Amino acid sequence: MSAQLLLTFDDRHVAGWEAALPLFDAVGARVTFFVVEADLLDDQEQAGIRRILSAGHSVGSHGARHRNADQTIAEVGAADYLRTEIVSSVEALRALGASANSFAYPNSRRDDTTDAVLLKVFDRLRGGGPRTTDLMAARSAVVAGNPRVFPARGFDTGRGEVPHLNDAATLSKLLHELAEGGGTLVLYAHEIAPVAPGNHIHPDRLAAVLTEAHNLGLHMIGYDDLD
C-alpha cells in the first residue's frame, strides 16, 4: 500500500501560502489549501489563488463564513446551510479555476449527518483529531484505503505568542510508521509565517516536515490527486 501524506492549510492566508510555494517545490510536494470567505477575496488574493493552482496544488472549500456544520445544519436545515455556507464558496473557487471538490470542516466539527449532507457536494471531506504525544492515540490519524472522510492532525507551531505542544518526535514516529506500513495521513495548519496573531506554522518547521517526509519516500499529494 502506498504511503501518502496530505498537507493542508486552512482559512485565508493567501500571501503567506504563496510565499511558501518554493518550500513545496523543493521536494516536489503538492498540497491543499482550504479557503474560507472565497467570495470576499480581493484582487491580490484571487491572483494568489490562481498562482497556487498553476503550481499544481489543490484548492478546496472551508465554508463561506466558517460556520460550524453540525450546529448550522441543526439550526437552519441542510438546504439553507448548503445555500448560505457552501454554494457561494464553491462558485467563487471554481471561478478562479479550482476544482473545489473537497471540504475541510471549520473547527473540525462534523458528524454522520454533516458528512451525508456534504458528500452530496464534495468528493472528500477533512475532519480533525487529537493532537497528542500519546502514540496510540496519534495513530488514529493514519487511515488505510481511500475513504471519503479523512481524520487529520494539526501541525501548527503556535497561536500568536503561545507555542503549541512540541510533538515533533511523535509526528516523526508517525511518518516513519506511515512509510513502513502505508496508508494516508492528513495534517493541517493555517498561516505559514514565523509569527502571526492566529494559528500558524513556522516556515522552518514546515521545511523540516517536508524534508523528512521526502526522505522517507512519502507521496505528498493534494486532494485533487486522490483517486
Cell 493532537 sits at which residue? Answer: 131
Written as nine digits, the cell of 82 is 448548503
Supply the minimum distance, in Å, between the C-beta of residue 192 and Zn ion: 14
Shortest distance (Å) from residue 161 CB to Zn ion: 20
Nearest Cα to 191, choosing from 1, 15, 7?
A: 15
Compare residues 32 and 178 and give the one whose CB is closer to Zn ion.
Answer: 32
Residue 157 and residue 202 in contact, taking contact as beta carbons nearer than 8 Å: yes
Residue 121: CB minimum distance to Zn ion, A: 18
- Interface residue list for Zn ion (CB under 5 A): 10-11
Q: Which is nearer to Zn ion, 191 or 212 (CB)?
A: 191
User: Would you call 74 exposed, middle or buried from its count of C-beta atoms within 10 A (0-12, 13-18, 19+)?
Assistant: middle
Q: What is the rounded CA–CA span in Å between residue 82 and residue 215?
A: 41
What's the min distance (Å) between Cβ of 7 and Zn ion?
15
The C-alpha atoms of residue 68 and residue 50 are separated, in whole angstroms, by 27
Cell match 479523512: residue? 150
